[in-house]
Amino acid sequence: MVRVRIAPSPTGVPHIGNTRTALFNYLFAKHNDGKFILRIEDTDQKRIVEGAKEAIFEILDFLNIPPDETYTQSDRLSIYKKHAQILLDERKAYEKDGAVWMKIPDPEIFTWKDAIGKKEISFKSSAVEPFVILKSDGYPTYHLASVVDDHLMEISHVIRGDEWISSTPKHLLLYKSFSWDAPIFAHLPIILGNDKTKLSKRHGAKSVLDYRDEGYLKEALLNFMVLLGWNPGTDKEIFSISEMIKIFDLKDVNTSSPTFDIKKLEWMNSLYIRKLSSIDFKKEIKNRFSKELRDVSDGSLHSFAVLAQSRIKTINEFYELVKPFIENLDFALDKKEKEIARKLLDGFLNIGSWQGEKILEIMKKVMNEEKIRMPILYKILTGKESGLPLPDSLVIYGKEKTIGRLKEKTP
């Protein structure tokens, strides 16, 4: 049976690159009717960040890619000590200053065929330095704990970033020292920023939770992440999670590093926003802006939602667009703008039926007379130079409020 794992360390909140690795593991497991395992690797106690462990679970829960089994390494210390002692007894390891070190045999070559690109990778033992497997505080290092757990948890494939390639010879040595079969290794190419350097915070290497809070939908984030290094050989770019599971295969993972493109994520998110039903779109809005929208009627909210849904890249942009028609914004007009505002006021007062066509007619008349363009009128009425279609927005806002705002700006 296929059994894969992700092994995050709670030394920080995983960024989107780490979460991409989790997604690939999940898809590979589900495609092969296998198990997806979460293992919290918290043996570096001094570097643990408060809240990081909880964030790992929150990310998986938000994306709806739940683990089938969960383990925490700090609960398994006796297991690692037992296995370190085995290596000491067999003189494959030695003690120094209270720590247990692994001996490096020489000469020896460590070789494996990586599942990504089917390439053979080799390291001479002379390139591997002696390394600690059990620290003096009784906690194992990553190398020992990872190998012991992968064996005992019957991990069939280790799918991780290619920054771990240099550690693989150490792991192969441990497998051989215990007389265990090694799993299949699959090292994913690192994600690059748009300047072709390793993805970092300046490129957008934030947590999935950060993107969620900025108004990105989980469906868009999953779709975006799966394309960071995977391509099934078609031009298709929009995949549901069920479609991903159905066709995901490690052979379709590229050997070259993908580039993180925030513009593509924005585009993809806008597609998923437009695909939402009106009910689901309003639900997203209400969940995110319940406090800000508490005084907005259902009718007005529905009308603003219809106007905005096809015009935004993130859910958060919705409130920025409707904010001028919900809040009393503090902005001032200059002398010329006040003169134009009075003309608008006179024209709007004469509108009998408050309709978009009538409002636009008055606006065009004022723009022609004053030789100005729509951004000027937008600024006079909202304090901004652009946004949702102004006549339609003013219909929703209402004649009384529009007149009141213009009177306030033209005392």
Q: Would you call 94 helix, strand, or coil by DSSP? A: strand
Q: How far apart are CA 284 and CA 316, in angstroms?
A: 10
Residue 317 CA to residue 281 CA, distance in Å, equals 13
Residue pointed to by tokens 């096809």: 310
Active-site residue, 201 included? yes
Q: Which amino acid, residue 88?
A: L
* 235 φ/ψ angles, rounded to the nearest 5 degrees: -85, -5
Place of tokens 């770019």: 237
Closest CA to 149 of 73, 209, 44, 253: 73
- Tokens, residue 325: 């028609």
Out of 30, 170, 196, 201, which one is annotated catalytic? Answer: 201
Give yes or no for a contact between 198 and 188, defined as CB atoms under 8 angstroms apart. no
Residues near 182 by beta carbon (within 8 Å), at least 6 away in sequence: 112, 171, 172, 175
Q: Are strands 35-40 and 3-6 parallel, antiparallel or unpaired?
A: parallel
Would you say 131 and 170 are in contact if contact means Cβ atoms under 8 Å apart? yes
Closest by CA position to 56, among listed 25, 27, 22, 24? 22
Task: Say which amino acid occupies 151.
Answer: H
CA 98 to CA 243: how far, in whole Å?
52
Q: What sections of 168-258 are H helices per DSSP?
A: 168-177, 208-213, 218-226, 241-247
Helix (H) or strand (E) holding 395: helix 390-397
Q: What's the rounded Cα separation, in Å, for the pair 410 and 111?
A: 80
Measured between alpha carbons, how far is 10 from 44 in angstroms, rounded to an integer?
A: 9
The span from the CA of 291 to the CA of 288, in Å, is 8
- What single-letter DSSP state applies at residue 75? G
In angstroms, the CA 360 to CA 184 distance is 66
Which residues are designated catalytic? Answer: 201
